[in-house]
Structure 1
Amino acid sequence: MYLKLITCNVLLREVCREVASSPHTFDLYFTEKGDHEFCDRLRSLIEGEIRVAEESGKPYDAILLGYGLCGNATAGLGSSRFPLVLPRAHDCCTLFLGSKQKFRELFASNPSRPFATPGYLERGSDRFQTSSTRKFLGLDKSYEEYVALYGEENARYIMETLSPKTSEEPTLVYIAMPGTDSLGWEERCRAEAEREGKRFIRVQGDPRLIHKLIYGEWDPEEFLLVPQGQKIAPLYDWDQVVTSKPQL
């Protein structure tokens, strides 16, 4: 297959490793790590690159998006000419962990828990990331905004649920990716966590979703195939995460 892959540069090492051994032919485009901070900007960049692919005259079999929903940045994206393929993931963290189940285990109880990967750490000064799950689920509002939406009693309940009183010490999750041990990021991340008084948790990453995306192994349980003329739509759940619907 001839494929266009649009993804974030925090995944560059893992993506290039898989592309190098893939049986398929690729054109690659990477957005910057900082583009995640503004979902509208990230959506605009991805949409623009989809349009470049459509107008290039190249006979792509599909456009692959190496993202999750990423704060709804991929919501509404579609192509009139090519099918899109997207992992069923809340954000890029799922791609580093290898499954949405592992993502849920680590972040469902604390969506604001900071995490780091070699790809995040080597790009930019904002080293520790937080999952975009709270934003994805609509749980990133202030107390006053919740009062306006749901009333004082419900707003109080939501805030207590999102920020429970707990004896759990602050933590930092480091996702160690295969082939990156020699870079020294784990040691530096551990030292920085200690300086900030956070408990360091090392989790072994798994590039299996990246591999499956690049090798064309698009199991519908883990990937959404968006037909031509349809667009990505969020489902706000832990199972499917995304679906597709006709473009208006």
Structure 2
Amino acid sequence: MKKIISCKIYEQSIKKIINEIDYDMEFLEIGMHNEPSKLKARLQSMINDCQHYDEIFLLYGICGNSIEGLYSEKSRLYVLRVHDCFATMLGSNKRYFDLVRDNGNYSWRCESNMNTNYLSDKYNEFCDLYGEENAEYLISIYGKKTDLVYYVDFKSENDEKNISSLAEESRVLILEGSLSMLEKFFCKDKSVSLQINKNEKIECLYDETEIIKTVPKE
């Protein structure tokens, strides 16, 4: 049997591409990203409790270091090679990095995260990476209201309404959503997934290609 542990942002997408009979699925609220250290502890606890499964599919990106050091004692563990879910929803890391380079690092939305507080998410991420004092400075810059929002459009019933709502306050750059990365992930394509074996743990790299790797678990 196989287990999926995933951020709730992927729930609708995952259910479109897999046979639910083959998996047990558990989805965590998006707001858990706001406390990366607690999210990390929760994910490790869930992995520990799922060691009776043959395979565990973990659908989280680096997400403020919340997957750094995670491991699985017996079950094979597969993790997405992404910085965050924006790249997954776009269908590739290359598309994500090209977009940010060409247009800037702005807020983004899709049907699943319209009510998410990403400013709080970023503050906690900056705290983990740079310390509280530096995080306050960085968030003062990052949090300035901008005139552009990215919207990942999967042509759902709510997408048009969401885009109209966002357009009342900002320019909206509409981006076509893609399930291709998720499809590759569940096929264990090494270009988008990392397999963590017994006596290994995850190390985050923050580059644009490998993104995460395995290292020996001490």
Deviation >4 Å, runs of 4+: 127-132, 138-142
Shift of 1:191: 2.8
Shift of 1:119: 1.4
Partners of 2:130 and 2:148 lie apart in 1 by: 20
Conserved? CA contact 2:3–2:56, under 8 Å: yes
Aligned length: 212
Conserved? CA contact 1:115–1:129, under 8 Å: no
Matches within 5 A, 1:88-103: 88-103=81-96
Matches within 5 A, 1:40-51: 40-51=37-48
Q: Which amino acid aligns with 1:100?
A: N
Specify the alignment match of 1:9 in structure 2. Answer: 8
Matches within 5 A, 1:1-248: 2-20=1-19, 25-54=22-51, 58=52, 60-108=53-101, 110-111=104-105, 113-121=106-114, 125-126=115-116, 135=125, 145=134, 170-177=147-154, 180-181=155-156, 183-184=157-158, 186-196=159-169, 198-214=170-186, 217-248=187-218
TM-score, with structure 2 as normaliser = 0.84
Q: Which amino acid aligns with 1:219?
A: D
Cα gap change, 1:105 to 1:131, in 2 (>3 Å): farther
Shift of 1:19: 2.0
Structure 2: 5+ residue runs without aligned partners? Answer: none
Conserved? CA contact 2:90–2:152, under 8 Å: yes
TM-score, with structure 1 as normaliser = 0.74
Cα gap change, 1:77 to 1:14, in 2 (>3 Å): same
Partners of 1:127 and 1:116 lie apart in 2 by: 11
Q: Helix, strand or coil: the match of 1:232?
A: strand
Shift of 1:72: 1.1
Specify the alignment match of 1:152 in structure 2. Answer: none
Cα gap change, 1:235 to 1:127, in 2 (>3 Å): closer
Shift of 1:77: 0.5
Q: What is the root-mean-square deviation of aligned Cα atoms in Å?
A: 3.1
Shift of 1:128: 6.4
Shift of 1:13: 0.6
Conserved? CA contact 2:201–2:216, under 8 Å: yes
